[in-house]
Amino acid sequence: MRIAFYISTHGFGHAAREQAVIQELAQRGVQVYVRTATPAKFYAAAHHYHQERYDIGVIMPSVMQVDAAATFAWYSDFLQRQPEIIEREAAFIREQAIQLVAVDMPSIGCEIAARANVPSVVLTHFTWDWVYEHYLPDFPHYQFIVDSIKASYGKTTLALEMPFAHELDMFPHVEKIPLVINPITKTRAEICADFAIPADHKIALPGMGGQGWGSGDISALRDFKNWIFLLTPDAYEQVKAIPHCRCVPMDYPGYHNLIAAADVVIGKAGWSTIAEAIGHRTPMIYTLNDNWRENSILDAALRTYGSSLYIPKADFEQGAWLMALDAFANRTHVWRDIATNGAVIAAEKLINMLGSD
């Protein structure tokens, strides 16, 4: 059984959630061929990894800003190159006798599957035509990009809809699946050993979904001596002289284990991060990106299923999350039940499609 996965290179969230599905497939004997520009660390269970970009997502000059003009310009050029990429990838699919294409969610993956005459499955909660449509009032001459992406998605055999989704009416057939999260592979005790965390300290995990922390001043961390802060390398550079700060390397495997072990996660809300926080019941202090269409969906998910505290972006960047940290961590956290076996269900559905091929 052979499946090719085409995975978006926008941040690490798409890679992180498909990592869980790919692991489930590998445990069932499926050979997975990963096609993406996200790091290989996410795909240890894959049979084959090929590093190439098949979409852009959105171009972000900083962790909290979207450059719609640059994004549309990149995609316009990409559409000119797309026919050659489709032919090359379809030949690869045929040569490797791959029976199914899974997509999260570069629309070119659906075109490749159609050209290779194999079924395709999109696993997602949002689509790029929906995101780009948000920016069209300022860039109406790029309507053709949205139309092209939507037409490609229309060639999908099946879409598996993850929770916290918008209407996925661009797909001919949609089935809902539970939340997709990664199972814990390291205990809190093991995390504490990895990072020399004293047993009487709380753990805070600030992060921005694999995009670095940004330029916000975090020197005030020095005053929070009852906490250990696990930081991305760019953030750690600011505070490396502070004894209760630790650096998490960018190639650190199993970042979801840190989310599960933390007392509080802090950062920009992104689907994969909030899924892991909700699924592993870790409280989250969050802010929302500038001009991002998904904001209302992410905000509603955290307010409904998470234990969370929203801080507006301007206040967040001024360090308001630190001032709220102790009170938030010490409050009573209430959780609403939600099924978290989406990776298992997705893998079973994919295998069933292989069996019916």
Residue range 196-210: average pLDDT? Answer: 90
E strands, 120-232, are 120-124, 158-161, 174-176, 202-207, 227-231
b/e burial code for range 113-130 (CB count within 10 A of at least 16 → b): bbbbebbbbbbbbbbbbb
Residue 207 pLDDT class (50, 70, 90 cuts): confident
pLDDT at 42 over 80: yes
Token reading at 197: 């965390």
Show me where the domains of the chain are located: 2-180+341-356, 188-330
Residue 251 pLDDT class (50, 70, 90 cuts): confident
Q: What is the C-alpha to C-alpha distance for residues 145 and 260, in angstroms, rounded to an integer?
A: 39
CATH number, domain 188-330, options 3.40.50.1100, 3.40.50.2000, 1.10.3720.10, 3.40.50.300: 3.40.50.2000
Token reading at 260: 């599960």
At 154 the pLDDT is 98
Residue range 56-65: average pLDDT? Answer: 90
For residue range 214-229, what is the model confidence (pLDDT) as tens digits?
767 798 999 999 999 9
Share of the chain above pLDDT 70, in %: 98
At 357 the pLDDT is 52
Residue range 2-13: average pLDDT? Answer: 95
Inter-residue contact 71 to 281 (CB < 8 Å): no
At 260 the pLDDT is 97
Tell me, which fold does domain 2-180+341-356 have in CATH? Answer: Rossmann fold (3.40.50)
Mean pLDDT over all residues of the chain? 95
Give the CA count within 13 Å in the CB-facing half-sphere of 351: 16
Token reading at 314: 């301007």
In this prediction the pTM is 0.95
Residue 356 pLDDT class (50, 70, 90 cuts): low
Intrachain domains 2-180+341-356 and 188-330 with the same fold? yes
Residue 250 pLDDT class (50, 70, 90 cuts): confident
Residue 290 pLDDT class (50, 70, 90 cuts): confident
Closest residue by Cα to residue 324 from 286, 289, 276, 288: 286
